[in-house]
Amino acid sequence: MSSATAIAHPNIALVKYWGKRDAALNLPAVGSISITLDTLATTTSVQFDSDLDRDTLSLDGQSSETSLGRVSACLDLLRARAGVDTRAAVSTSNNFPTGAGLASSASGFAALVTAADAALSLDLPPQTRSILARQGSGSAARSIFGGYVEMHLGKASDGSDCFAEPLLDAPDWPMTVTVAVVSKTSKKVGSTEGMELTRHTSPYYDAWVAGQSADLDEARSAIEARDFDKLAEISEHSCLKMHALAAAARPGLVYLQGPTLEAMHRVRALRASGCGVFFTIDAGPQLKAISLPEHRGQVTSALADIDGVVEILQSGLGEGARVV
Ligand code: PMV
């Protein structure tokens, strides 16, 4: 028997990933840029045990058959590298709501790959773990690293150059992320299904793919220059563009809810009054307000006060996936 436990944090994309160029290998159609959080965390233990005849998965204390297929497929990639066939018992828990647009699949697959790598004594470099995590969930490739992270689009058809890399460490430009939780239920249309529907039916899809590299350049240079206003502008643009693109699919995907829209207006009003804050929203109704740490109090009170915001979560920027 061999086992290991790893911790990983969700990440929030500032320049969004939406769309796959190869669904089987889970290759993105666009690169992306994200920030890794600190207080929200997934802790995953993997125990390889020759007595097991199949993999098992416990998610937040309950046996989970729905996610087991994806977890087993990810473990198969690591087993193949180690040249073993041993099955594993996986136990994973999130200290935040699962599957509701809070990137639990990102931290989940980053923690899974990191724990399985250690349990099998593979000692794979972070770049390789990023490639393996990507095959579980595209955004998971980014949670291998901390701080500001860029996911490369890559050119190779086998995905060997499609991995994330750190741009800037968390302490080099601290930020606060305030999450306005609007709903704790799992999303109805998952990201894979939503991306494929968008790719095949949204009339804006080609324009989205064509515009991504300029958005990435702008965000990368804003991060390098620590230019908050520039990062705010490009991040809100990328978020709104992704939601417009998905809304134009058939049937249209509308992830935003009433309180999400109210929160977007409040964030913009705060920024107009001189507060360093901008919003981003993923495939769910929660709004993530990114702010300079000194403006965190103002942001929290503006969002907590919205009807329909059921909880406020707060985080700074944190480290990449690691064994504990
Ligand atoms: O990694 P996935 O398949 O869960 O997709 C993530 C999609 C978004 O969260 C909406 C955007 C992103 O870049 O994280």
Backbone angles phi, psi at 284, to 5 degrees: -175, 175
Domains within the chain, CATH numbers bracketed: 2-171 (3.30.230.10), 176-315 (3.30.70.890)
Q: How much distance in Å is there from the Cα of 139 to the middle of ligand 1?
A: 5
Q: How far apart are CA 64 and CA 321, in angstroms?
A: 23
Q: How many CB atoms lie within 10 A of CB 269?
A: 11
Q: Which helix (H) or strand (E) holds 323?
A: strand 322-323
- Looking from the CA of residue 139, the nearest atom of ligand 1 is 1
Q: Mind listing the pLDDT tens digit for each residue in 196-243? A: 999 999 999 999 999 999 999 999 999 999 999 999 999 999 999 999
SS3 17: coil
Rounded to whole angstroms, the Cα distance separating 52 from 58 reads 15
Pick the residue whose CA is nearest to atom 9 on ligand 1.
282
Q: Is pTM, for the whole model, over 0.85?
A: yes
Radius of gyration of the chain (CA): 19
* 292 Cα–ligand 1 center, Å: 24
Question: What is the distance in A from the centroid of ligand 1 to the CA of 17?
Answer: 6
Residue 315: phi and psi, rounded to 5, are: -150, 155
pLDDT digits (tens, 9 = 90+) for 97-144: 765 567 789 999 999 999 999 999 999 999 999 999 999 999 999 999
What pLDDT, on the 0 to 100 scale, is given for residue 185? 74
CA of 50 to the centre of ligand 1 (A): 35
The Cα–Cα gap between 242 and 293 comes to 27
The three-state secondary structure class of 279 is: strand
The residue contributing the CA closest to ligand 1 atom 13 is: 17
Average pLDDT over residues 47-52: 97
Output the CA 32–ligand 1 centroid distance in Å: 10
Residue 187 clears pLDDT 70, i.e. is over it: no
Measured from the Cα of 101, ligand 1's closest atom is 9
**Looking at residue 207, what is its pLDDT?**
98
**Residue whose CA is at the smallest distance from ligand 1 atom 8:** 282
Q: What is the pLDDT of residues 140-160, one digit of tens each?
A: 999 999 999 999 999 999 999
Ligand 1 neighbours by CB, cut-off 6 Å = 13, 16-18, 32, 105-106, 137-139, 191-192, 282-283
